[in-house]
Amino acid sequence: MRDTDVTSLHRFDEIENLLTQAKTGRRDLFSDKDFTARLADRLDRMLDGDRILSMDIFDTLVLRDNSSEITRFYEIGGKMADLATSHTGRDIAQVDAFVARHLGTKATYRASGKIRGCREGSLLEIHATASRILTGGGEMSSPFVEAELEYESARIEPNPFLVDYAARHRARGGRVVLLTDMYMHAEQVTQLLNLLGISSKQYDFLLSSADTKVSKASGGIFRNMQEEMQAAPGEFVHIGDSFRGDVAQPIRQGWQALHLPLAQADILERRKDHAKTATMLRETFNVDIDIAMPK
Amino acid sequence: MTQTPDRKDMAQNSDEMIRHVGYDCLGPVVHRWLLALDQHVHFFDKGSTSFLYCARAGVRIRRLYDLYLDGLGRQAGDRHNMFWISRLALCKGTYAHNPQYAAEIIAREYYHQPMRELIRGLFRHDQTFLNANEDLLQDTVFDAHGFNFPGWLKSDHPLVEPVDAYLRGCSDSFDTYLTSLIGDSTDVVLIDSGWQGTSQSILHRAFPSLDWHGLYVGRILTPAHDAKIADKVIGLLFQSESYDPDRPETAITLHRHLFETLLEPNGPSIEEITGGPNDDVAQDQIQANLNERVDPERDALFLHVEAYLRDHAGLGPAAIIANHQQAVPELARILARPTREEALAVLCKDRSADFGKDLDVPVLIEPDGNALASDLNVDQRIQRALWPQGQIALEYTGAFRESLQNRVSGQEDNTSHFDPLGTDAATQTAAIDADLPKGPLVAIVTRTKNRPILLRRAADSVAQQTYDSYIWVVVNDGGDEDVVREVIAQSTVDRRKIHLVSNARSLGMEAASNVGIRSVDSDYIIIHDDDDSLHPQFLEKTVRFLEGSGGKRYDGVVTGSEYVSEEIRGDEVIEHARKPYMNWVRNIHLSELLAQNLFAPISFLYRRSVYDDIGGYNEELPVLGDWYFNLEFVLRSDIKVMPEPLAYYYHRDFGDSSRQGIYANSVVGGQSKHEEFASVFRNMFMRQYGNSSPLAAAAISAYFATDIRNRLDAVGTRIGQLEHAVETNTAPQENQNRTDTAEIDRLWLLVHIQRAEMNRNDHEKQTPDPADPNAPIDALVQILASGNIPVAIQPQFDEETYLKLNPDVKAAVDSGSIPSGYVHYLTNGRKEGRERPYCKTP
């Protein structure tokens, strides 16, 4: 349908649509001059000089490759198995370490303590449980955590545009904060960012739902950030890839928000990767693990 | 005491079947449960956490868990202890901390039994006390039902003091016992079979400073569950109230007694407190459980499970899960649709009651078994058995058995049973499909004009939809576009799903709908006006229905609605009342729809293809366009009614916003337009579709059926009022009475004329020339005079008196030249001033 004298048609998803439809994935788009110019312009207008730029971390400030969670966790299981075998002298299979980590994840998300009615997973709890399942004791907990962080650092890279934009915003007097819904605690995320060359001096504050228990998805973490930064809701502009946690919930809290969704092409790659690993697990070990397909 | 099927029968028939159930099916499931138990023990263990295995199930749970750990070369630590309690013992033991709650739990178990039995249950093991107080127990106060127990404890009955003293004595001992188990620990994890944490709730309320968690085989919450602790009641294999075939482990909800009896040792319930007033009894009970004799026949399943665990000792977690995933569908099938042999194999022993009661509860009742069985018919046996699906297997065979078992399990109902299209069997395989799933696309069309307050609510309604394949088309029909943009900017609808169609000038409601619908491609359409809203699951449920096999015969679906009365004051929307809207509508009949619109637009989701066939909403109608569209829809296809209220139809029928201005409803504020266009609407519809005369006849019949119905309702009401006046000898004012009876006569005559016309139309198939409902009585009399229309005597007309007063009329009636004195009155008597005699209703 076309515009007529009386009727005009409008959309509101220029940036979102470009990202969603990016045929070769988002990563290339964040290096595309035309796109980044438009994005910068949009952010400039939203930030209006002095608002606080709040960024999601994973798949926003840092870009993941298109491996799926199930693949990553299975590969982390391999590292865990090597460590546990060395420690115990028993042959611990990669798939068992992967499952032990998964059981630790399920336990922490089901049973950890709540704050303000909210619950979040914890990498420390995940590996404490996994260590006990595999070895009977908690001594492998820290090595497992370190192994996972090291593995993750090899699977992610900084988002060049956003790192640069954040620096420019700070240079003109603005503030930059980071928010993540993640089972990694702030300390671990900071460590990971350092490994990528994003030092804690490049942002003003970082909050992880593993520490706060309230999250972006539940909406509670935004109040925590307001209190930390001593700022009102209207002073924040948040950007991120999750519609619920990075757009709907901050808007409900009175923040402005911009959605930077994953490209369909990226999601499809991740789904294929998930399918590949899930099929391998089923065919090799006869097991289906309830890790959600990327969407 | 009931009797279960003969053990010899079981043994002869199915040693292999029992082995299959116990070893092949239950073994892997129990192994998975133990892995989950281990997983959570590790999670909760902070170094000082106490793990308490609740008797009696805890005896066998501990035995199995030790076997599991042994296979891994490990042992449970010294903070793992048996907790020698039962629910009754817990009530006794926590009484001092929370007397009211403990008494209520005890009372619940004896709710409809005499309180006498409750007291006997409490003191079951203290015969001395019972003997000494037998006379007092015969007091009539103990005839009262057990639910009176908490109140009785506050009375001054002589037995209150010793009962209270006994319970407090139990509590003192229990405190000591608990401390001996947990020491200084503040984190306590209970381990038990299931299912909703009643014991955990009792302990939490009595000792709130301790952090209580519970690990159970599964969690099944009933309405009586304690919501405050539900999050800490952890079902290790499942958490569900009903069977979901997509999660086979939930089949345990169909026969949870399987696990209860599997884990129940052959020892008594622990009804006395360690160290308490009857400590010797407690110790005997404990020893009996510790030294239980596992019976090779009654505990065959348990022994097979142990054998499985031994044979698979030390298996890694991946293999445990794999074996479970292989076995649990078969276990689910056996629990949901067992054959007779399988039912008998699953049956081990009856469930023993607790709470001081001394009886076994039958899991199954063999139809030819015993006195109880013969006293009960088939239905009663199925109802009484603890496992209905198993009982059905003893009663029936073949496809009928399976169908009945499916119904009892909630997997089949009458509709699906008789629907020729059938319901799709749950045969979807868990395909790992990388392709992004996409549901059919719904166009949600919202017309708006300068109503940002309401548009915001509509935006929330859209954003909250659980079904996410939609486009929200906002049609700004001549209003301020910036206002709409601001609402969109503040909304939480995914921006990729929003289209704004902005009309520089108003095109009218129906044209606005059309331009919005035509701006997008979609599979379904819903008109979601800016002043209405939807339940979050509206799209999910309606799309699912139409996409399913049951929806194939329909092209639209209407849900139940609520009519919401509200008022706008400044920037605030104030709700005044809410009530079901047209909730009597269960089907959409064309004839009913012709008489009145049966549903609100907000409740109607339909296939785009029908819209395309119709060609759009009728833009000539400033109001009632949705009704017109609905009629055109039903001319082509059927609409399903889903009674569940999932749509909210708002009306500003309070205050200033009700009648005028931007917030007025078209239905309420535009009332005069509705009245004006009702006849225009019907005439337009008849002209467009009147060539098909049965349709035109149906239109008129339906319209007049409603009209007559309404008018007769009014007549009936008025007659009732007049009857009352006559009966109470209340003399109505003469003028009022004359006016009322004149209208009664007019309507009476009209009804008869219209009925005669309808009958004639049916037979003669002519286009009708209907009597004008507003025609004065003289005009109706002319119609009466011109045709052979029988008119019954109006009940409040005193025919006898009229004929007596008017002998000329009587003569005419007697000769047959006029049918009745009443007809004479209508046609002549009125004008001649003859008196209309009024009689009481017989």
* Structure tokens given for B836: 């209309």
Q: Which residue has the tokens 């992610």?
A: A156
Check residue B425 and give its pLDDT: 41
Residue range B565-591: mean pLDDT, rounded:
89
Length of chain B: 842
Residues of chain B with C-beta less than 8 angstroms from the C-beta of A99: 316-318, 321
Contact B326 A286 (CB under 8 A): yes
Selecting from B489, B494, B502 the residue whose C-beta is nearest the C-beta of A243 gives: B494
Q: How far apart, in whole angstroms, are the C-alpha atoms of residue A34 and residue A28?
A: 12
Task: Read off the DSSP letter of residue B524.
Answer: E
> Which residue, among B74, B75, B71, has the nearest Cα to B308 in the 3D structure?
B71
Q: Is the dihedral of CA A226, A232, A236, A242 positive or negative?
A: positive
Q: What is the CATH number of domain B442-687?
A: 3.90.550.10
Judge whether A116 is closer than 8 Å to chain B, CB to CB.
Answer: no
Give the containing element (helix H, strand E) for A133.
helix A123-135
Instruction: Name, in order, each residue with C-beta under 8 angstroms of B767's C-beta and a sequence gap of 6 or more.
Output: B690, B693, B696, B697
How close is the nearest chain A Cα to the Cα of B274, in Å?
32
Contact B43 A125 (CB under 8 A): yes
Check residue B672 and give its pLDDT: 60
- Residues 397 through 436 of chain B touching chain A, CB cutoff 8 Å: 430, 432-436
Give the containing element (helix H, strand E) for A188.
helix A186-195
Reported as a pLDDT band with limits 50, 70 and 90, residue B735 is: very low
Q: How far apart, in whole angstroms, are the C-alpha atoms of residue A106 and residue B543?
A: 32
Distances, alpha carbon B817 to alpha carbons A157, B90, B799, B800, B811, in Å: 106, 93, 16, 17, 9
Alpha-carbon torsion, ordered B52, B331, B389, B251, to 10 deg: 60
Residues of chain A with C-beta less than 8 angstroms from the C-beta of B322: 285-287
Selecting from A6, A10, A93 the residue whose C-beta is nearest the C-beta of B316 gives: A93
Spacing of C-alpha A142 from chain mean position:
22
How close is the nearest chain A Cα to the Cα of B118, in Å?
38
Q: Which residue has the tokens 């969670």?
A: A69
Contact A285 B318 (CB under 8 A): yes
Q: How far apart, in whole angstroms, are the C-alpha atoms of residue B700 and residue B694?
A: 10
Q: How far apart, in whole angstroms, are the C-alpha atoms of residue B559 and residue B586?
A: 10
Check residue B722 and give its pLDDT: 66
pLDDT in tens, B367-386: 876 656 667 888 888 988 88
Residues of chain B with C-beta less than 8 angstroms from the C-beta of A85: none
Quick check: bond before B56 cis, omega within 30? yes
pLDDT in tens, B507-518: 999 999 999 999
Reported as a pLDDT band with limits 50, 70 and 90, residue B2 is: very low
Reported as a pLDDT band with limits 50, 70 and 90, residue B767 is: very low
pLDDT at B406 exceeding the cut of 60: yes
Reported as a pLDDT band with limits 50, 70 and 90, residue B741 is: confident
Give the containing element (helix H, strand E) for B448.
strand B442-448
Helix B27-44 vs helix B300-311: angle between axes, to the nearest 10 degrees?
Answer: 70
Q: Is the dihedral of CA B187, B191, B196, B199 positive or negative?
A: negative
Query: Across chain A, what does the average pLDDT equal?
Result: 96
Are the beta carbons of A227 and A220 closer than 8 angstroms?
Answer: no
Check residue B842 and give its pLDDT: 46
- What is the percent of chain B with per-residue pLDDT over 70, rounded to a whole number? 82
Judge whether B21 is closer than 8 Å to chain A, CB to CB.
Answer: no
Selecting from A7, A252, A275 the residue whose C-beta is nearest the C-beta of B501 gives: A7
Closest residue, chain B, to A266 (C-alpha): B436
Contact A286 B322 (CB under 8 A): yes
Residues of chain B with C-beta less than 8 angstroms from the C-beta of A243: 494
Residues of chain B with C-beta less than 8 angstroms from the C-beta of A274: 432, 434
Phi, psi of B3 (to 5 degrees): -125, 135
Residue range A104-132: mean pLDDT, rounded:
95
Check residue B622 and give its pLDDT: 80
Spacing of C-alpha B840 from chain mean position:
49
How close is the nearest chain B Cα to the Cα of A287, in Å?
5
* Paired strand residues for A257: A238
Q: How far apart, in whole angstroms, are the C-alpha atoms of residue A131 and residue B130?
A: 56
Instruction: Name, in order, each residue with C-beta under 8 angstroms of B147's C-beta and a sequence gap of 6 or more.
Output: B107, B108, B110, B111, B112
pLDDT at B731 exceeding the cut of 50: no
Residue range B23-33: mean pLDDT, rounded:
98
Judge whether A288 is closer than 8 Å to chain B, CB to CB.
Answer: yes
Amino acid at B381: R
pLDDT in tens, B291-318: 999 999 899 999 999 999 999 999 999 9
Amino acid at B220: I
Judge whether B522 is closer than 8 Å to chain A, CB to CB.
Answer: no
Contact A12 B498 (CB under 8 A): yes
Q: How far apart, in whole angstroms, are the C-alpha atoms of residue B108 and residue B95?
A: 15
How close is the nearest chain A Cα to the Cα of B485, in Å?
9
pLDDT in tens, A74-96: 999 999 999 999 999 999 999 99
Residues of chain A with C-beta less than 8 angstroms from the C-beta of B36: 103
Interface test with A, best of B190, B475, B492, B619 (most A CBs within 10 A): B492
Q: Is the dihedral of CA B230, B236, B242, B244 positive or negative?
A: positive
The region of weakest confidence among A221-235, B469-483, B691-705 is B691-705
Judge whether B492 is closer than 8 Å to chain A, CB to CB.
Answer: yes
Selecting from A6, A11, A103 the residue whose C-beta is nearest the C-beta of B505 gives: A6
Contact A12 B318 (CB under 8 A): no
Task: Read off the DSSP letter of residue B244.
Answer: B
Domain limits, chain B: 442-687, 693-791
Contact B507 A6 (CB under 8 A): yes
Judge whether B43 is closer than 8 Å to chain A, CB to CB.
Answer: yes
Residues of chain B with C-beta less than 8 angstroms from the C-beta of A118: none
Kindly write down the DSSP assignment for every residue of B329-347, as one continuous string.
HHHHHHHHS--HHHHHHH-
Check residue B683 and give its pLDDT: 73
Check residue B665 and give its pLDDT: 64
Contact A111 B40 (CB under 8 A): yes
Kindly write down the DSSP assignment for every residue of A79-111, as one continuous string.
HHHHHHHHHHSS---HHHHHHHHHHHHHHHHHH
Selecting from A6, A9, A17 the residue whose C-beta is nearest the C-beta of B504 gives: A6
Contact A98 B234 (CB under 8 A): no
> Residue A266 in 3-state DSSP?
helix
Task: Read off the DSSP letter of residue A11.
Answer: E
Selecting from B43, B434, B492 the residue whose C-beta is nearest the C-beta of A248 gives: B492
> Which residue, among B350, B378, B248, B318, has the nearest Cα to B2 in the 3D structure?
B350
Q: Please tell me which residue, B720 or A37, carries the higher pLDDT value.
A: A37
Selecting from A259, A274, A287 the residue whose C-beta is nearest the C-beta of B495 gives: A259
Check residue B285 and give its pLDDT: 93
Check residue B372 and give its pLDDT: 60
Kindly write down the DSSP assignment for every residue of B33-62, as one continuous string.
HHHHHHHHHHHH--SS-EEEEETTHHHHHH
Burial class from Cβ neighbours inside 10 Å (0-12, 13-18, 19+) for residue B765 reads exposed
Closest residue, chain B, to A118 (C-alpha): B231
Give the containing element (helix H, strand E) for A268.
helix A264-285
Judge whether A96 is closer than 8 Å to chain B, CB to CB.
Answer: yes
Residue range A272-283: mean pLDDT, rounded:
97
Contact B463 A251 (CB under 8 A): no
- Residues 226 through 245 of chain B touching chain A, CB cutoff 8 Å: 231-232, 234
Distances, alpha carbon B504 to alpha carbons B501, B508, B605, in Å: 10, 12, 28
Check residue A199 and give its pLDDT: 96
Are the beta carbons of B102 and B94 closer than 8 angstroms?
Answer: yes
Number of residue pairs across A and B with CB atoms under 8 Å? 136
Check residue B4 and give its pLDDT: 44
> Residue A240 in 3-state DSSP?
strand
Angle, CA of B290, B294 and B296, to the nearest 5°: 175
Judge whether B483 is closer than 8 Å to chain A, CB to CB.
Answer: no
Q: How many angstroms separate the first and last alpha carbons of chain B?
A: 62
Query: Across chain B, what does the average pLDDT equal?
Result: 86
Q: How far apart, in whole angstroms, are the C-alpha atoms of residue A137 and residue A88?
A: 11
pLDDT at A22 exceeding the cut of 80: yes
Judge whether A77 is closer than 8 Å to chain B, CB to CB.
Answer: no
pLDDT in tens, B232-266: 999 999 999 999 999 999 999 999 999 999 999 99
Greatest mean pLDDT among A224-228, B15-19, B432-436: A224-228
Check residue B352 and give its pLDDT: 61
Check residue B728 and give its pLDDT: 63
